[in-house]
Each structure stands twice: as structure tokens, then as C-alpha cells.
Amino acid sequence: DAGVIQSPRHEVTEMGQEVTLRCKPISGHNSLFWYRQTMMRGLELLIYFNNNVPIDDSGMPEDRFSAKMPNASFSTLKIQPSEPRDSAVYFCASKLQGAGNQPQHFGDGTRLSIL
């Protein structure tokens, strides 16, 4: 079975540019999560969706960050304009919500470097 698929795997861009990260969750999963991982702050939850609807975006650091989930098989995380402090590894995870406690399944992440 295909796992969570993220693209691109690596992104290097200059400060001020728009960055778009993409995620395809596991088929049949109805919850999707975006995390950011840094050495200093560990794994931080940015936002999550249930049935394509954003439920909690309190972890989104600033208005420069936005996320969408137009359908059950695709989500984007956008940073505009990007800044060097946004450099991190961004993970997408999905799970089946509403079937008892279920694990989240992570993609392999996007390593973002803002110069």
C-alpha cells in the first residue's frame, strides 16, 4: 500500500519567495496533519483537517503560512513570503479518524531551506 506521499523532498529557495509543499494522504484516511520539525522545537503541529475541513490552525506560526485541502487526496502548505527562520523539515501525516484511537502515518517530509 502506498504511504503518505510528500513533494518535493527537498526545496531550496531565496527569502521572499513563495513555497508550496504538497501531500497525498493514505487512501481512506480522513484526517490530515501538517508538522514542522526543527532541532530546537522538535515536532510541532501546525494544522490539521478532518474530512477536508481545517479544525485547528493554532500552530500556524504566522499569517505567512496557509494550508488547504481541496479534496480527500490532496493538501498543500504554503509559505508566502518565506523567511530563513522557516527552514525546517515539514511532515504531513494522515490517520483514520472516528474508528477508536488510531496511529498517525507520516510521510518522509520536505526539507526546506530558505536562503
Report the 10 Å Cβ neighbour count for 114.
20
CB 13 within 8 A of CB 29: no
89 burial type by CB count under 10 A (0-12 exposed, 13-18 middle, 19+ buried):
middle
Q: Is 43 in the site for another protein (CB under 8 A)?
A: yes
Per-residue interface string for the shown chain with another protein, residues 9-38, x marking contact by CB under 8 A: ------------------------x-----
Least distance to another protein from the beta carbon of 72, Å? 19
CB 96 within 8 A of CB 102: yes
Within 58-87, the residues that bind another protein by CB under 8 A are none
Tell me which of 91, 94, 112, 114 binds another protein, using CB under 8 A.
91
Q: Is 101 in the site for another protein (CB under 8 A)?
A: yes
Q: Is 107 in the site for another protein (CB under 8 A)?
A: yes
Residues with Cβ within 8 Å of residue 39, at least 6 apart in sequence:
none
Give the footprint of another protein on this chain (CB under 8 A).
4, 33, 42-43, 45, 48, 56, 91, 93, 97, 100-101, 103-109
